[in-house]
């Protein structure tokens, strides 16, 4: 008797559906670049063919004339990329600030004219009501937010604000996530000991991140005879002012400037830290530094802005402090310095929180479901 084996010969695998994803230069120090790099390295890239489209000025060295030319030509470049690659979905990453939103509004229009599904992901910035200064702007922004097939935001407060602002839009919550390898399980300086408290700031050195208040708080702790040391990793427009303040307050022996850190060097800094201090009053989305610090067991002392309250609970995973209040920051740090058992408990609960909800596997699965639904 002959047996026919169906499918015994290997069939060619179908070409994965293509998704064009916008982001600045992938090597740029940018939250959006980090986000897209994570997606490109995730399991999502095994199901969909992800193609990077470079947008924005981060990582570029441009003259004003070159920048103006880029802004004029970039929508045409996007049209060419869509025509050439023929993606089924165009995934645009932007922020709700004047420069990024209006630039990327042109991209939305191009993608919709070329009849592509559009995911418009907003990485923090102003809420839409605050963004719109007058009735005309409000009408234009509301119309533009109706065009994408899905608007993706990072925080619960943003979901509510966007659904209220444009009820007919499909608004989805997909928080940021991180690759936890290299952060979980590393050896840390003992947070439960009575030694010097090691504080870390990692991010852009800009005044609205609260960096000058951090230095004032270190001075306050020194006056209370609480031993601390501060590691600062990053660069930015207010670095000179920050260094001057450190020197003026006589804290040069306690504060170390590392410059921008990446990869293993950054992970080692997190693992050696007791506290991530971040009294920001910037319009944050969901800072990667927060997720990384918690994964490594570094307890956040942070302002409750953007998506930060979605990630951590005050007194459980870390401590909330009001922005622009160095005295409150000093008091919060002193409390943890004097209660190392509480510090260790928060470190453990924070690590569990990240493993449960903020891994790259969850992020890839969320976008897999979103893309499939489109």
Strand partners, 354: none
pLDDT tens digits, one per residue of 226-246: 999 999 999 999 999 999 999
Q: Higher model confidence: residue 369 or residue 6?
A: 369
pTM score of the predicted model: 0.88
Supply the pLDDT for residue 14.
Answer: 67
pLDDT tens digits, one per residue of 311-324: 999 999 999 999 99
pLDDT at 360 over 70: yes
pLDDT at 11 over 60: no
Q: Using an 8 Å Cβ cutoff, are 239 and 209 in contact? A: no
Alpha-carbon Rg for the chain, nearest whole angstrom, is: 23
> SS3 helix, strand, coil % of the chain, rounded to 5?
45, 20, 35
25-34, 45-54, 272-281: range with lowest mean pLDDT: 25-34
- C-alpha 106/C-alpha 164 separation (Å) is 24
Q: Which domains does the chain carry?
A: 17-177+359-373 (3.40.50.11930), 197-357 (3.40.50.2000)
User: Which helix (H) or strand (E) segment is 203 a member of?
Assistant: none
% of the chain at pLDDT higher than 70: 92
Residue in this structure with the two tokens 């919550």, named with its chain if needed:
173
- Could you tell me the two tokens for 56? 């924005």
pLDDT tens digits, one per residue of 131-161: 998 999 999 999 999 999 999 999 999 999 9
- Could you tell me the two tokens for 193? 């000991």
63-67, 75-79, 154-158, 177-181: range with lowest mean pLDDT: 63-67
Strands 89-96 and 17-23 turn out to be parallel
187-201, 271-285, 312-326, 357-371: range with lowest mean pLDDT: 187-201
Supply the pLDDT for residue 8.
Answer: 44
Supply the pLDDT for residue 10.
Answer: 55
Strands 150-153 and 48-54 turn out to be unpaired
- C-alpha 102/C-alpha 345 separation (Å) is 45
- Could you tell me the two tokens for 322? 């009001």
Mean pLDDT, the chain, whole residue set: 91
Residue in this structure with the two tokens 């918690």, named with its chain if needed:
294
Name, in order, each residue with C-beta under 8 angstroms of 265's C-beta and a sequence gap of 6 or more. 258
Supply the pLDDT for residue 184.
Answer: 79
- C-alpha 351/C-alpha 120 separation (Å) is 30
User: Measuring CA to CA, which residue among 33, 21, 48 is closest to residue 111?
Assistant: 21
Strand partners, 51: 20
Supply the pLDDT for residue 97.
Answer: 87
- Could you tell me the two tokens for 66? 């070159």
Neighbouring C-beta atoms of residue 122, cutoff 10 Å: 25
Say which DSSP state 318 is in: B
Question: Confidence band (pLDDT; 50, 70, 90) for 195?
Answer: confident
Provide mean pLDDT across the span 170-176.
97
In the chain, what is the straight-line distance between the N-terminal and C-terminal CA atoms, in Å?
48
pLDDT at 119 over 90: yes
Q: Using an 8 Å Cβ cutoff, are 251 and 229 in contact? A: no
Q: Which residues of 263-280 are buried (b: 16+ CB within 10 A; e: fewer)?
A: eeebbebbbbbbbbbbbb
Provide mean pLDDT across the span 236-259.
96
Supply the pLDDT for residue 283.
Answer: 84
Provide mean pLDDT across the span 274-295.
94
How big is the CA angle at 269 (ends 265 and 270), to the nearest 5 degrees? 120
């Amino acid at each position: 008797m002959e047996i026919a084996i169906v499918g015994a010969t290997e069939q060619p695998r179908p070409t994965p559906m293509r998704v064009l994803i916008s982001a600045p230069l992938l090597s740029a120090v940018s939250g959006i670049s980090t986000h897209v790099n994570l997606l490109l390295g995730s399991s999502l890239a095994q199901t969909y063919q992800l193609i990077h489209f470079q947008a924005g000025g981060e990582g570029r060295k441009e003259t004003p004339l070159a920048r103006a030319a880029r802004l004029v030509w970039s929508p045409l470049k996007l049209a060419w990329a869509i025509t050439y690659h023929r993606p089924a979905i165009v995934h645009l990453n932007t922020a709700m600030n004047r420069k990024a939103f209006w630039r990327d509004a042109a991209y939305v229009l191009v993608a919709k004219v070329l009849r592509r599904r559009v995911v418009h992901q907003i990485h923090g910035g102003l809420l839409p009501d605050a963004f719109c200064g007058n009735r005309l702007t409000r009408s234009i922004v509301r119309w533009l937010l109706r065009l994408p097939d899905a608007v993706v935001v990072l925080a619960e407060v943003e979901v509510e604000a966007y659904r209220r602002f444009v009820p007919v839009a499909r608004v989805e919550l997909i928080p940021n996530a991180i690759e936890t390898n290299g952060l979980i399980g590393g050896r840390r300086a003992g947070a439960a000991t009575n030694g010097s408290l090691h504080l870390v700031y990692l991010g852009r050195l800009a005044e609205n991140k609260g960096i000058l208040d951090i230095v004032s708080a270190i001075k306050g702790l020194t006056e209370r005879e609480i031993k601390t040391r501060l590691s600062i990793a990053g660069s930015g427009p207010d670095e000179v002012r920050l260094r001057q303040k450190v020197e003026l307050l006589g804290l040069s022996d306690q504060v170390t400037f590392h410059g921008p850190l990446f990869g293993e060097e950054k992970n080692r800094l997190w693992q050696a830290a007791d506290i991530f201090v971040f009294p920001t009053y910037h319009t944050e989305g969901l800072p990667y530094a927060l997720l990384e610090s918690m994964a490594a067991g570094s307890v956040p002392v942070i302002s409750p802005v953007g998506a930060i309250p979605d990630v951590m609970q005050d007194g459980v995973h870390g401590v909330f402090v009001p922005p622009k209040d160095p005295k409150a920051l000093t008091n919060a740090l002193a409390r943890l310095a004097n209660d190392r058992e509480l510090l260790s408990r928060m470190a453990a609960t924070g690590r569990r929180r990240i493993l449960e909800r903020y891994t790259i596997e969850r992020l890839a699965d969320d976008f897999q479901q979103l893309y499939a639904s489109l």
